[in-house]
Amino acid sequence: MTAIKIDGRATAKKINAQSAEQTRKLTQKGVIPGLAVIMVGDDPASAIYVRNKERKAAKLQFNSVVKHLPADASQAEVIALVQRYNEDPQIHAILVQSPLPSHLDEEAVVMAIDPRKDVDGLHPENLGQLFAQVGEDFPVACTPKGIMTLLSQYQISLPGKRVVMVGRSRLVGKPLLALLNNANATVTLAHRHTTDLAELTRSADIVIVAVGQADLITREMIKPGAVVIDVGMNRDASGQLTGDVAKDVEDVAGYLTPVPGGVGPMTIATLMQQTIQLAAWQTGQVVD
């Protein structure tokens, strides 16, 4: 058995086409989706991500602003810039690229973002609404939201399914736990302190891994026919991009996201989709 490839690029292409049409309709109503990205320092991986986001935003004809601050920028400078975009009615979505330099308090920066413009869905107010299932018009972390879109696109049923989420970051693991739980899956959250990880993953219908450790999940850890979502992004000895899931897992899994080409394209597509949604919410428009 060879796993069915969950094609993130193809699904992202569909979302981007929808986003282009929604942007066109909003623009006709005088609303141009505005996205501000703040990057502090010169982290190479961050620079690539920011550049990709900038290109996609430009292609969709957003009001796209990218502000680079030097690595030694102060906490006050970063927060002042966030506040400037909070108060700018032409900016509907704010993203501060992680990681920040070690001297900065990333939590304080997240807290400074207006929750209505928090396109990454990291503000505690937005996370609280997600976990409590309260309200509708709030942003959700883009990678988890993109994963949920992929599962829906491939008609992978969630109610009653046993899911093991490996990784508990605020960016992926925790919001995805809430989304899956809200979709009536039975979710176990595992992490680096979890003992007998293989025993957990072998019992799962769906395994999602977001740790950043190459080949953490091997074929012996997967139940035949299980769905495996690999969020990991690592470089092997030859510099090739690889995930957290070993290649031989494709011989036992029923569905598998490749790296690259799986979850990655969905994150940026979902970021653009959510920027449009924030613009609509803030201006009283409806997008469909």
CA separation for the pair 274, 8 (Å, rounded): 17
Q: What is the pLDDT of residues 217-243, one digit of tens each?
A: 999 999 999 999 999 988 888 888 899
Residue ranges of the chain with pLDDT lower than 70? none
- Is the distance from CB of 29 to CB of 282 less than 8 angstroms? no
pTM reported for the whole predicted model: 0.95
Indicate which residue of 97, 129, 273, 282 is catalytic: 97
Q: What is the CATH number of the domain that holds 181?
A: 3.40.50.720
274 is catalytic: no
CA separation for the pair 261, 129 (Å, rounded): 31
Q: What is the pLDDT of residues 33-75, one digit of tens each?
A: 999 999 999 888 888 889 999 999 999 999 999 999 999 999 9
Residue 12 within any structural domain of the chain: no
The total number of structural domains that make up the chain: 2
What is the C-alpha end-to-end distance of the chain, expressed in Å?
A: 39
Does 169 count as an annotated binding residue?
yes
248 is catalytic: no
53 is catalytic: yes
Instruction: Give me the domain span that covers residue 238.
Output: 142-263
Q: What is the CATH number of the domain that holds 44?
A: 3.40.50.10860
